[in-house]
Amino acid sequence: MKNNLKQLCSLHGISGHEEAVAEFIASEITPYCKHTTDGIGNLICFKEGIFTSKKKSPFLRTWMRLAFL
């Protein structure tokens, strides 16, 4: 985690130009979930799971600046 934080802090990702940050996060989460980007550059991640109850599945939403903190 400490290494990820150092790498994130070294990336250029000012508001509106977060492509490098999105690419880094995508490369780190690839083993854990599926991901895609939408037309405006948002990184969207999908983690499939098995739910045995009829309750709705959990939903997590975050911004890139909060993803690894």
Q: What are the pLDDT digits (tens) for 9-45?
A: 888 888 888 888 889 989 998 998 889 888 888 888 8
- Band of the pLDDT at 59, cuts 50, 70, 90? low
Q: Is the pTM of this model over 0.85?
A: no
| pLDDT over 60 (residue 67) | no
For residue 60, the model assigns a pLDDT of: 67
11: nearest Cα among 21, 23, 1, 2: 21
CA atoms within 13 A on the CB side of 49: 10
% of residues, the chain, pLDDT over 70: 72
